[in-house]
Amino acid sequence: MAWKRFQPLFGQLGDISAVKFDSGDGPMVAHPGMSPDDAGRIHRFYKRVLTPAGIASPALRHQQGIGERQMLIFDFFPGKPLDRHGPGWEAWLPAVMVELERLQQFGEQHREGLKVRGGRKPPLVNHLFRQALGDALRWDRAHGERRFLLWLVTRLKRLPQVLSHGDLHRENVLVDTERGNIALVDWDRWDYLPVGFDLARLMRGLAGDTVEQLTGGSHAQRLGVVGFTYLLQRHDRPAMVNSEEGEALRRRCRELAGSLL
């Protein structure tokens, strides 16, 4: 393989996690500096899940060693991150939800064969739960919502666990507007997680009522999206807790949970 030129993706010149390069087979993307375990885990996930399930993601070509580290080589996808498309990016949400539904269906069919091995990065949802529970034990942070936080974390943990991306922020969704295609990237945090977590993380920053309208689906999925939106919003904007928006989100969580009984 002849490498002609490296180019950091998206202008990120600091901690570079991916670089574009020209090869004899056309433009590709390399993810360097990975441990053999991490690289092997992602390689297996592509082979066992993403490729056979037909999930929209850049094709993984091969794995290559660089000393004690590993590098994964992917096809280059000519798109920009979803968050860089400005107002109206929500129009791409249905396409993303189609991919998530396909992933969940495949994960349910192959659940026994996809048990997660140890040594992976801890799920981000666990950090969110720990923070909420920690805040619930401190009067200066709970702001009168202690009982609600304890109740909400319990309800979210009881939701159906579905095969998930695990880190689906908008920088990890690439959109090619010219061809109308999307690609989901950075699958190193895949896991079986409560339904709704991926969508809540993807729509982080949107108002709670907007998030639910865009989500649709079952009551379980709606509770997951609204509940995780509440936890994310209180992390990003602590003042939200004592606002009308915060009260509306708490009320909606209780309504959705009641419909599941």
Residue partners of 139: CB distance under 8 A and separation at least 6? 146
Quick one: pLDDT at residue 11? Answer: 40
pTM of this prediction exceeds 0.85: yes
Sign of the dihedral defined by the CA atoms of residues 11, 42, 170, 54, in that order: positive
Strands (E) located in 102-206:
161-164, 173-176, 181-184, 191-194
Q: How far apart are CA 219 and CA 225, in angstroms?
A: 10
pLDDT for 176 equals 95
Of 62, 76, 2, 70, give the one whose Cα is nearest residue 32.
70
Q: What is the mean pLDDT of each run of 10 residues along the chain (261 residues)?
A: 44 56 82 85 93 96 81 91 90 96 96 70 92 90 89 97 96 94 94 97 94 92 97 94 95 94 73
Q: Measuring CA to CA, which residue among 71, 61, 59, 6 is closest to residue 32?
A: 71
**What is the pLDDT at residue 139?**
79
Q: From residue 157, give the alpha-carbon distance in Å to each of 193, 211, 224.
A: 9, 20, 9
Q: What is the pLDDT of residue 17?
A: 66
